[in-house]
């Protein structure tokens, strides 16, 4: 059985695959080294340990410095991570009736009005 480690910065949603190991002990040694380094440099990271079937085994967080064991095999890396609906304020801004919702055309009109003045 093989294991692999991923690293995720808390400010980002992407996970990057670091290394693959043949034993769990080798992977845990590297994770502990990386956690110590990240804590000393005040980086907020999350390390995850997966098995060869993409099942999440453990999560390691630099803030809590504790391990959270997970045995949910439905969690897989890759598909669906980082995707989601994040509306912008331009789509949800209230406007009076008759005003177009395209903010680009509004800027063009503002520039034309400034040139006339």
> CA end-to-end span of the chain, whole Å?
73
Mean pLDDT, the chain, rounded, equals 74
State the average pLDDT over residues 23-29: 90
pTM recorded for the entire structure: 0.53
**Pairwise pLDDT comparison (52 vs 6), residue with the higher score:** 6
Tell me the three state secondary structure of residue 101.
coil
Q: What is the residue extent of each domain of the chain?
A: 3-69
Phi, psi for residue 90 in degrees, rounded to 5: -65, -35
């Amino acid at each position: 059985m093989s294991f692999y480690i991923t690293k995720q910065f808390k400010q980002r949603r992407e996970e990057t695959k670091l290394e693959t190991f043949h034993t769990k002990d080798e992977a845990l040694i590297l994770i502990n080294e990386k956690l110590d380094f990240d804590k000393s440099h005040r980086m907020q990271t999350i390390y995850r340990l997966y098995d060869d079937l993409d099942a999440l085994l453990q999560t390691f967080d630099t803030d809590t410095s504790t391990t959270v064991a997970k045995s949910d095999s439905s969690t897989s890396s890759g598909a669906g991570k980082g995707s989601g609906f994040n509306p912008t304020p331009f789509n949800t801004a209230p406007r009076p009736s008759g005003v177009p919702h395209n903010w680009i055309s509004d800027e063009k009109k503002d520039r034309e009005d400034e040139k006339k003045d």
